[in-house]
Structure 1
Amino acid sequence: MADAFASLAPLEEHIKQLQGRKMRLLTEVEQVEQQILLAQLKFATLSNEAAPISRLPDELLTSIFALTRQEDTPRSKAFQVVASHVCAKWRAVATTTPLLWSEIQVILTFRNAKSKAEVDTELDRLNAYLTRSNSCIFSLKMEVIGNINLEPFLQLLGLQMYRCQRLSFSISNHSSPVSQLLHHFGSLEAPILQHLSIHIPYCRLFDYDTRQLDLVRANILQGGAPALQFLRVTGIAGHLQPPLSRLTTLHLDGSHMDGLSFEQFRDILQSTPEVINLSLNDLWVETPVISSPQISIPNLRCLRIRARPEYDLHSLLINLPVTQLESCAMSQIASFRPIEFTNVKSLTLEHCSLIPEDVGNLILGFPAIQSLTLVSGNPSSILFALGYPGTPIWWPKLKLLFLNDLFVRAIPIFLDAIHNRQATETPLERLYLDRETRKLLRSKKNLEEVNALLPVENHEDSSPWPAGLGYEDEDDGFWY
Structure 2
Amino acid sequence: MRPPVCTVAQRTPIFTTTTMPKDIYRLRRAQLIHYPRATRPLGPITLLPLEILTHVFLSCVQDEDDHSPDVPLVLGQVCSSWRKLVLKLPQLWTHLSINLTARTSLPAASPFTSSSSSSQQPRLSKSPEALANLANLWFERAKNQLLSVTINLTAMNATAVQDVSSSLVRPILSHAKSIQHLSIHASSHTQLAHLFSRSDVEFTNLESLSLSLQHPASSSSSSSPITTFTNAPRLTQVFFDLNGSPPSTSLIHLPWAQLEQFSMSGASLLPADECRLLLSTCTNLRKASVWIDDDYTQSDEKTPTTLLPHLTHLSLSFYGRHEKTINSLLTSFDLPHLRHLHFFSGFITLPFIPPVTSRHLETVSLSGVDVSAAQLENLALVASSLCSLALDLRYCSGEIPAIASVLATDSSSPLVFPYLSKLSIWTRHISPNSASYAQLIRSRSRNPNHTPFCLDVYLARQRHVGSSQFDNILSLFDVCDKATGVVLRIMDVRPDEGISETSFF
TM over 0.5: yes
Structure 1 residues 155 and 314: CA distance shift in structure 2, 3 A: same
Comparing 292-301 and 358-367, the one that deviates more: 358-367
Of 399, 414, 421, the match for 2:444: 421
Residue 181 of structure 2 aligns to which amino acid in structure 1? R
Of 82, 94, 98, the match for 1:102: 94
CA distance in 2, matches of 1:179, 1:338: 37
- Equivalent residue number for residue 183 of structure 1: 197
CA distance in 1, matches of 2:155, 2:148: 23
- Equivalent residue number for residue 23 of structure 1: none
After the TM superposition, which residues 79-478 of structure 1 pair with which residues of structure 2 at under 5 Å, given as runs?
79-111=71-103, 117-120=125-128, 121-147=130-156, 148=158, 149=161, 150-172=165-187, 174=188, 176-184=190-198, 186-200=199-213, 202-203=215-216, 207-209=220-222, 219-222=227-230, 224-235=231-242, 236=245, 237-238=247-248, 239-252=251-264, 255-256=267-268, 259=271, 262=273, 264-284=274-294, 286=296, 294-312=305-323, 313-332=326-345, 334-335=349-350, 336-337=352-353, 339-349=355-365, 351-352=367-368, 354-356=370-372, 359-360=375-376, 363-364=379-380, 366-374=382-390, 378=394, 381=399, 384=404, 387-390=407-410, 395-401=416-422, 403=424, 409=430, 412=434, 414-425=437-448, 428-431=451-454, 450=480, 453-454=484-485
Q: Tell me if structure 1 keeps the 8 A contact 2:103–2:124.
A: no
CA distance in 2, matches of 1:206, 1:103: 37
CA distance in 2, matches of 1:167, 1:376: 36
Q: How many pairs does the alignment contain?
A: 409
Shift of 1:230: 1.4
Q: Tell me if structure 2 keeps the 8 A contact 1:169–1:198.
A: yes
Residue 398 of structure 1 aligns to which amino acid in structure 2? Y
Structure 1 residues 78 and 178: CA distance shift in structure 2, 3 A: closer
- Equivalent residue number for residue 496 of structure 2: none
CA distance in 2, matches of 1:418, 1:402: 11
CA distance in 1, matches of 2:441, 2:151: 47
Structure 1 residues 182 and 71: CA distance shift in structure 2, 3 A: closer
Structure 1 residues 428 and 201: CA distance shift in structure 2, 3 A: farther
Shift of 1:298: 3.4
Q: Tell me if structure 2 keeps the 8 A contact 1:292–1:319.
A: yes
* Residues 197-232 of structure 1, C-alpha deviations (whole Å, 9 max, x = no match): 222355366833469xxx9xx93334x211111123
After the TM superposition, which residues 21-32 of structure 1 pair with which residues of structure 2 at under 5 Å, given as runs?
none
* Residues 223-276 of structure 1, C-alpha deviations (whole Å, 9 max, x = no match): x2111111233423531122223222223558335746x3x5444333322222
* Residues 81-118 of structure 1, C-alpha deviations (whole Å, 9 max, x = no match): 43223222223223432222212233343355666854
Shift of 1:78: 4.5
Counting aligned pairs with the same residue, the percent is 15
Structure 1 residues 465 and 202: CA distance shift in structure 2, 3 A: farther
Shift of 1:193: 1.0
Shift of 1:430: 4.2
**TM-score normalised by L of structure 1:** 0.68
CA distance in 2, matches of 1:99, 1:376: 46
CA distance in 1, matches of 2:288, 2:61: 32
In structure 2, the gaps of 5 or more residues are 1-38, 106-121, 461-468, 490-498
CA distance in 2, matches of 1:431, 1:52: 51
Shift of 1:317: 0.8
- Equivalent residue number for residue 47 of structure 2: 55
Structure 1 residues 204 and 162: CA distance shift in structure 2, 3 A: closer
Q: Tell me if structure 2 keeps the 8 A contact 1:108–1:145.
A: yes
Q: Tell me if structure 2 keeps the 8 A contact 1:399–1:427.
A: no
CA distance in 2, matches of 1:301, 1:71: 27
CA distance in 1, matches of 2:313, 2:385: 14
Residue 367 of structure 1 aligns to which amino acid in structure 2? A
Q: Tell me if structure 2 keeps the 8 A contact 1:49–1:55.
A: no
Q: In structure 2, the residue corresponding to 1:176 is in which secondary structure? A: helix
Note the aligned Cα RMSD (angstroms).
4.5
Shift of 1:142: 2.4
- Equivalent residue number for residue 37 of structure 1: none
Q: Tell me if structure 1 keeps the 8 A contact 2:342–2:501.
A: no
Structure 1 residues 122 and 414: CA distance shift in structure 2, 3 A: farther
CA distance in 1, matches of 2:46, 2:181: 35
CA distance in 2, matches of 1:85, 1:295: 57
In structure 1, the gaps of 5 or more residues are 1-46, 468-480
Structure 1 residues 146 and 435: CA distance shift in structure 2, 3 A: farther
Q: Tell me if structure 1 keeps the 8 A contact 2:206–2:235.
A: yes
Q: In structure 2, the residue corresponding to 1:199 is in which secondary structure? A: strand
* Residues 41-87 of structure 1, C-alpha deviations (whole Å, 9 max, x = no match): xxxxxx99995322222232121122233358668684434322322
**TM-score normalised by L of structure 2:** 0.65
Q: In structure 2, the residue corresponding to 1:208 is in which secondary structure? A: coil
